[in-house]
C-alpha cells in the first residue's frame, strides 16, 4: 500500500488499481471497514478506470487521530486528491464513505464528476438510536472513537443535511439494499431530491459490494460508462 501525509496530518494509506490514464474512481469504505473491502470491485472497474481506495483515518493502515467528524473525513478526501494531483474524481462511497462523498459533492462540487452512494444512512435521526460505544471491542482493527463520532452523527445529523441535495448537480446513483437495515424509502426520497439523482434497489444486505460484487457491478458499470476508457 502507498501512503501520503496530508498537510497538518493525518497520514493516509491507500490502494490503487487499474489504468493510470483512466478517470479516477475514489472508493470510500464504510465504518469499521477498510480499502480491502473493494478488492473484488476495484479490479473490474480498473479495466476502464484508475481506482483509488483510501483507508479512512482510524481505519486499516491509516493514522489514528482524535477527530473523526464528517468534516474531517471529507477534508481528508479532498486533501488526498490534491496530494495525488487529481483535479476531479468519481466518488463511490459505501455507508460512512457515502456520507463523505455526499458532503464532498455538496461543499466542493468542482472536485466531483459524478457519484455513487451505496446504502448511505439517510439524514434522519437513527431509530432506534445508535449505541455509543463506551470502550473499544477486543481485537477491533479500527479506532473505536470513529464509531462514537459516526454514531453521534447518526443520532443527530447535521442540520441542513437534506438541503445539501439541492446543491449537488452532478449525476448521482443512489444504490440501496432492499434487505438492509436502512429505510430505503428515505433513500428514494433523497434520489428524487437530487437534481440528477436516481435510485436503484437491489435484493441485498447493507454490505452490498462485499457480499455480492457481481450484482452491484451490473448497475454501477453502466452508470459509469460515460467516463470509461
Question: What is the per-residue pLDDT across 69-105, written as a single tens digit (0 to 9) for each?
Answer: 999 999 999 999 999 999 999 999 999 999 999 999 9
| For residues 129-135, average pLDDT | 90
pLDDT band with cut points at 50, 70 and 90 for residue 140: confident
How, if at all, do strands 115-118 and 172-177 pair?
parallel
Please name which of 32, 40, 10, 47 lies closest in space to residue 211, comparing C-alpha atoms. Answer: 40
Quick one: how far is CA 37 from the chain centroid? 12
Instruction: Name residues whose C-beta falls within 8 Å of residue 115's C-beta, 6 or more positions apart in sequence.
Output: 90, 91, 92, 93, 101, 102, 105, 168, 170, 171, 172, 173
Question: What is the per-residue pLDDT across 143-158, written as a single tens digit (0 to 9) for each?
Answer: 999 999 999 999 999 8
Determine contact, residues 194/172, Cβ cutoff 8 Å: yes
Question: What is the per-residue pLDDT across 24-56, written as a single tens digit (0 to 9) for each?
Answer: 999 999 999 999 999 999 999 999 999 999 999
Question: What is the per-residue pLDDT across 172-210, written as a single tens digit (0 to 9) for each?
Answer: 999 999 999 999 999 999 999 999 999 999 999 999 999
Please name which of 33, 40, 34 lies closest in space to residue 13, comparing C-alpha atoms. Answer: 34
Q: What sign does the dihedral 211-214-218-223 (CA atoms) show? A: positive
Question: What is the per-residue pLDDT across 110-131, written as a single tens digit (0 to 9) for each?
Answer: 999 999 999 999 989 998 999 9
Look up the CATH number of domain 2-227.
3.40.50.1820
The torsion of the CA quartet 100, 93, 166, 157, rounded to 10 degrees, works out to: -50
pLDDT at 134 over 90: no
Alpha-carbon span 94 to 211, nearest angstrom:
13
pLDDT at 136 over 90: no
pLDDT at 141 over 90: no
Amino acid at each position: 500500500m502507498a501512503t501520503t501525509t496530508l498537510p497538518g496530518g493525518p497520514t493516509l494509506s491507500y490502494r490503487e488499481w487499474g489504468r493510470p490514464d483512466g478517470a479516477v474512481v475514489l472508493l470510500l469504505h464504510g465504518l469499521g471497514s477498510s480499502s480491502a473491502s473493494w478488492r473484488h470491485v476495484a479490479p473490474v472497474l480498473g479495466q476502464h478506470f484508475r481506482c483509488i481506495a483510501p483507508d479512512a483515518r482510524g481505519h486499516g493502515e491509516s493514522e489514528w487521530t482524535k477527530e473523526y467528524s464528517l468534516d474531517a473525513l471529507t477534508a481528508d478526501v479532498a486533501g488526498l486528491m490534491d496530494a495525488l494531483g487529481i483535479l476531479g474524481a468519481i466518488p463511490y462511497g459505501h455507508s460512512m464513505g457515502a456520507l463523505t462523498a455526499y458532503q464532498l459533492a455538496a461543499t466542493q462540487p468542482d472536485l466531483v464528476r459524478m457519484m455513487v452512494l451505496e446504502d448511505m444512512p439517510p439524514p434522519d435521526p437513527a431509530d432506534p438510536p445508535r449505541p455509543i460505544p463506551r470502550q473499544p471491542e477486543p481485537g477491533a482493527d479500527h479506532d473505536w472513537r470513529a464509531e462514537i463520532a459516526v454514531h453521534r452523527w447518526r443520532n443527530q445529523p447535521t442540520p441542513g443535511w437534506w438541503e445539501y441535495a439541492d446543491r449537488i448537480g452532478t449525476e448521482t446513483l443512489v444504490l440501496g439494499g432492499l434487505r438492509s437495515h436502512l429505510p430505503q424509502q428515505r433513500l428514494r426520497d433523497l434520489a428524487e431530491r437530487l437534481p440528477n439523482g436516481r435510485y436503484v434497489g437491489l435484493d441485498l444486505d447493507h454490505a452490498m459490494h462485499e457480499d455480492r460484487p457481481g450484482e452491484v457491478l451490473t448497475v454501477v458499470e453502466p452508470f459509469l460508462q460515460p467516463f470509461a476508457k
